[in-house]
Amino acid sequence: MSRTCLAVILAAGDSTRMKSSMSKVLHPVAGQPMIAHVMQVVQKSGIADVALVVGRDAQAVSRAAEVEGLSITSFTQTERLGTGHAVLTAREAIARGYDEILVAYGDVPLITPETLMTARAAMAGGCDVAVIGFHTAKPTGYGRLLVKNDELLAIREEKDASEEERKITRCNSGLMVIDGKKALDLLSRIGNENAKGEYYLTDLVEIARSLGGRAVAVDASEEEVSGCNNRAELAVIEHLWQVRRRHEIMLSGVTMIAPETVFLSHDTVIGQDALIEPNVVFGPGVTVESGAVIHAFSHLEGAHVASGATVGPFARLRPGADLAEGAKVGNFCEVKKAEIGAGAKVNHLTYIGDAVIGAGTNIGAGTITCNYDGINKHETRIGKNAFIGSNSALVAPVTIGDGAYVASGSVITETVPDDALAFGRARQEVKPERAKAVRERAVALKAMKKNGHS
């Protein structure tokens, strides 16, 4: 949009009802602080400048709010005297002379760029104030929007509303856009003659109209303006975010058999024709490419799964796991900071950490890369088309060459050359009748203990 706009983001609340050791806006939704969600939406709506009003955990909130493409100035609110007072904390930024001032909240992370742009577009028609409202079947507790002939007359708080006004189901979200040229004058006229002695931003509507100005309301869905005051509401917002994002991903060409059981992170990327089975959790930093399959009950974080690769069921990919095309990580396997080459198989009950596995290599069941010596991590390198027998322990640092074969049950501590066969186990010995003697001795010992003999 050609009109300039400053976003004033209110994030200074004490978060008392969250009963938390950190600011409310730092609590994550889809693995990302709420405030970061808000800032990303602001940036996507075409706004470049932000005045961030902070209080508790000011430095942490400011860091969490950093988003590429936004120029952010933080202002500290030392007193809590209402929303009008909070916005005026950013007086210095407002005075720069923007066309519009958007007021939003750090605990409303589901707001969309489209809604903010709709509110801004309403201002282009000559409004002084555009309020974002919503319709709800349960309006109790919300301020009501009094609208007549497409003009917003006032925002009436429930305690001040008449019986007829309380029947109104169009409510105030708290978000609004103000004419930037008039903002400081309008804000300075807000009084505190109310029961709490606070300065309410909602008074702007009637103040603007009393000066001959015009106010309008634009609507958002009830879900996207959901705020968060406690842990129960945080869980609701998480649920709403997940439902929205799953829907978007499925419409992009991804199959989810039971989408309600799949949990995504804010940055999860899943390509077209991928299949996600039930009960899969994506932590931050996961990319799943086209045609890959994530089987049920798998957990992925910081991982890359290439086209045609398969994961699980019951697999865990930790940060740094990188599966090439057609690779397979099967049931009850864990991969951490490891490259699994094209077509390679890590099928069952296996741990691969700090490793490079070549294309076409097969890792047998129960294999582990012993990557940690108690102080440092070490790397295991396995070449192409190698075969690692079941129940093998590869003690890093160690290298196993192309086409090499490691016998089952081996402990490998030295380099295995290309095409070599390695045994790392003791020779089997058989003692005839020895098992019978051991068993008889154990039975006798048990009988002695039962009879009170030591």
The single residue of 85, 266, 299, 348 carrying the catalytic annotation is: 348
Edge-to-edge strand list for the sheet holding 345-346:
255-256, 275-276, 293-294, 310-311, 328-329, 345-346, 362-363, 387-388, 405-406, 421-422
Q: Which two tokens stand for residue 172?
A: 């105030």
C-alpha–C-alpha distance, residues 107 and 207, integer Å: 27
Number of CB atoms found within 10 A of residue 7's CB: 28
Angle (CA) 383 388 389, round 5°: 170
Q: Is there a contact between 24 and 18 (Cβ–Cβ < 8 Å)?
A: yes
C-alpha–C-alpha distance, residues 79 and 12, integer Å: 10
- 348: annotated active-site residue: yes
- DSSP annotation of 359 reads T
DSSP string, 230-251: SHHHHHHHHHHHHHHHHHHHHH
> C-alpha distances in angstroms, 184 versus 67, 103, 206, 250, 309?
27, 13, 15, 46, 58
Catalytic residues: 348
